[in-house]
Amino acid sequence: MTALKKTTPGPNLADIQGLIIRGYTHPCSVHLLFKFSSKPADLTSVRHFFKALMPHLQNAEDWGPLKPEMMLNIGLTAGGIAIVRSDLNVYNSNFSTTFKRGPWDVNSAQLSLGDYGDGDPSKWWNNKFANEDVHCIVHAYAMNPGAQDSIVDMITTAAKNSKGTVTELLPLKSKTGRLEQYPLIPSDYIHFKYRDSIDEPDLNDNPAGTDQADLNNFLIGYSTLPNPIPGPLNGPEAVFAKNGCYNAFRVLYQDVVTFDNFLEDQAQQINPKEKDTTVEWIAAKICGRWRQGSPLVLSPDMPEHDTSKSTDFGYEQAVNNDSQGLRCPFAAHTRVANPRDEPVDAAGSTLVPRILRRGMAYGPPLLDDNTDADRGLIGLFLCGDISGQFETLYSWINTNNFSDVFSPDFNTQDPLIANRSADPIGNNIDPTFTIPMANGKNVVLPVPGPKSTGILPQFVVTRGTAYFLLPSISSLKGIAEGHIPK
């Protein structure tokens, strides 16, 4: 669970949705998408939908020794807000341009997200509905499958009782079509067999703090800093958004077959006599952590139990210095996503943006008879500034040019989750991944061989993305009751 470090009297936790402050560990979750009718005459019915959900809306207060058996949180896109709070005139408001345009916008978001080929926004949600149809998301959490069925039934019944004004959107080609958490074992691992959600900012609620992990960089209405400033900060939309947070919601298909085959093929080329060990070595170098969680900077030679969840380390510090990338390659996923103390100089900023991440696997684990099944990660990336935090980090993932440690001639990419360009050389992208070696004989993946194309495969494909605001409890109650705060 993400901690909230108390330094000064903080925001009212009873008015903040729990998902923002807490890293829920409920074993069951479903993330339901909805479209609202835009007819003014239907607004009353839409409000009844919200009213039915209020009893299970979870705030950020400490729930004590017993977790709620079932609970939910709610997010709204700019299009959804425009319907339920038309008085805010969202598209002409102080909400950020990034939030209003959405993640499919080719002139802003896609310059950073770079969703190409099968992950192009025109193909999102398996073409079962349009991107602009997504107005609302309900994150439902439960302690067991029975409780999950109960809360999902409550939510969908509320939608059905809305007289056709609230329509559930079913994005997956699965039995239910819903984005359901799959109970992988162990539960904190993903389909690529990595331990997940280890490194999260320890939230500090000092409104004048300068640390990028401070709560004021995530919660709207408190920051006194110029970069980023979670907003809007003025007008009636600022009243609506205060105590809220943005959620860059992303559904990422993981091509486990391609990933596993890549590791096997590369290990065969590098060291066939110790193939299994080499598979794990390559997987660790690609990620920056061993698959059980140990960071390479602290455990360069093998995974260790004592470091399996370690987060207190850097790349440039005197102890365990890795300024040459001999322990953790510069382009490794965890090093790109959080360079820590590594020198950064991107667009004139030396700050390393942070995001709060809530992720869970969807789809069944890979078996011999289900290689074609849809499986991957449901990612909730929480931030106060979508462009300055989430999109900035994603641009670093797709183009490693934010630090002097990278070559100025060809930009490398995060080898694990970056979107491969259709023409890497033409876009000045290095299509390979270099593992620096102490003997100077660097390993460059893919290693030439009978199954090598010379280009890193696409391991992750975007299935859908939406930008939501997680409003305050009071704002959601205002929607349900038809009350507009002054």
Is residue 422 over pLDDT 70? no
**Mean pLDDT in residue range 286-298:** 97
Examine residue 322 and state whether it is found in any structural domain, yes or no: yes
Examine residue 382 and state whether it is found in any structural domain, yes or no: no
**126-140, 177-191, 225-239: least confident range:** 225-239
Task: Assign 353 a pLDDT band (cuts: 50, 70, 90).
Answer: confident
The dihedrals phi and psi of 125, each to the nearest 5 degrees, come to: 60, 25
- pLDDT tens per residue, range 152-174: 999 999 999 999 999 999 999 99
Of these ranges, 184-198, 245-259, 314-328, the one predicted with the greatest mean pLDDT is 245-259
Q: Domain check: are 104 and 161 in the same one?
A: yes
Q: Domain check: are 275 and 343 in the same one?
A: yes
Count the Cβ atoms, other than its own, within 10 Å of residue 145: 11
d(C-alpha 287, C-alpha 296), whole Å: 9
Closest to 98 measured CA to CA, from 250, 231, 251: 231
pLDDT at 23: 80
Is residue 294 over pLDDT 90? yes
Q: Domain check: are 233 and 275 in the same one?
A: no
Is residue 347 over pLDDT 60? no
pLDDT at 363: 96
**38-52, 129-143, 178-192, 286-300: least confident range:** 178-192
pLDDT at 320: 84
d(C-alpha 21, C-alpha 58), whole Å: 11
Examine residue 368 and state whether it is found in any structural domain, yes or no: no
d(C-alpha 57, C-alpha 230), whole Å: 23
Sequence-distant contacts of 344-348: CB under 8 A, at least 24 apart: 344/402, 344/403, 345/402, 345/403, 345/404, 346/392, 346/396, 346/401, 346/402, 346/403
DSSP label at residue 451? T
Task: Assign 339 a pLDDT band (cuts: 50, 70, 90).
Answer: very high
Greater pLDDT, 400 or 228: 400
b/e per residue, 216-242, with b = 16+ CB within 10 A? bbbbbbbbebeebbbbbeeebbbbbbb
Task: Assign 22 a pLDDT band (cuts: 50, 70, 90).
Answer: confident
Length of the chain: 486
- Judge contact between 38 and 385, C-beta under 8 A: no
Examine residue 204 and state whether it is found in any structural domain, yes or no: yes
Task: Assign 187 a pLDDT band (cuts: 50, 70, 90).
Answer: confident
Q: Domain check: are 285 and 242 in the same one?
A: no
Closest to 463 measured CA to CA, from 254, 258, 252: 252
Of these ranges, 15-24, 127-136, 395-404, 422-431, the one predicted with the greatest mean pLDDT is 127-136
Q: Give the C-alpha distances (Å, rounded to integers) separating 229 from 9, 137, 216, 340, 389.
A: 20, 24, 8, 21, 11
pLDDT at 410: 80
Q: Domain check: are 398 and 474 in the same one?
A: no
Q: Domain check: are 81 and 151 in the same one?
A: yes
Q: Domain check: are 185 and 60 in the same one?
A: yes
Bridge partners of 48?
A: none
What residue spans of 141-221 are helical by DSSP H? 145-160
Is residue 210 over pLDDT 60? no
Q: Domain check: are 271 and 143 in the same one?
A: no
DSSP 376-431: EEEEEEEES-IIIIIIHHHHHHH-B-SSTTS-SSSBB--TTTPPPPSSTTTTTB--
pLDDT at 202: 54
pTM here?
Answer: 0.93
Greater pLDDT, 434 or 345: 434
Q: Domain check: are 301 and 213 in the same one?
A: no
Greater pLDDT, 427 or 173: 173
- pLDDT tens per residue, range 86-121: 999 999 999 999 999 999 999 889 999 999 899 999
The dihedrals phi and psi of 478, each to the nearest 5 degrees, come to: -60, -40
d(C-alpha 315, C-alpha 343), whole Å: 10
Query: What is the domain count for the chain?
Result: 2
Is residue 208 over pLDDT 50? no
Q: Domain check: are 402 and 449 in the same one?
A: yes
Greater pLDDT, 187 or 329: 329
**Mean pLDDT in residue range 376-391:** 93
Helix (H) / strand (E) element for 335: namely helix 333-337
d(C-alpha 284, C-alpha 161), whole Å: 50
Q: Domain check: are 96 and 209 in the same one?
A: yes
Q: Domain check: are 232 and 282 in the same one?
A: no
Helix (H) / strand (E) element for 84: namely helix 78-84
The dihedrals phi and psi of 156, each to the nearest 5 degrees, come to: -70, -30
The dihedrals phi and psi of 71, each to the nearest 5 degrees, come to: -165, 170
For 245, half-sphere exposure in the C-beta direction (CA atoms, 13 angstrom radius) is 29
The dihedrals phi and psi of 193, each to the nearest 5 degrees, come to: 70, 25
Closest to 438 measured CA to CA, from 322, 343, 342, 333: 322
Examine residue 374 and state whether it is found in any structural domain, yes or no: no
**Mean pLDDT in residue range 63-86:** 96
The dihedrals phi and psi of 163, each to the nearest 5 degrees, come to: 60, 40
Examine residue 325 and state whether it is found in any structural domain, yes or no: yes
Examine residue 221 and state whether it is found in any structural domain, yes or no: yes
Contacts for 260 with CB less than 8 Å, ≥ 6 apart: 366
**Mean pLDDT in residue range 446-452:** 89
The average confidence (pLDDT) of the chain is 90
Task: Assign 185 a pLDDT band (cuts: 50, 70, 90).
Answer: confident
Q: Which domain holds residue 38?
A: 4-252+468-481
Greater pLDDT, 9 or 245: 245
Examine residue 314 and state whether it is found in any structural domain, yes or no: yes
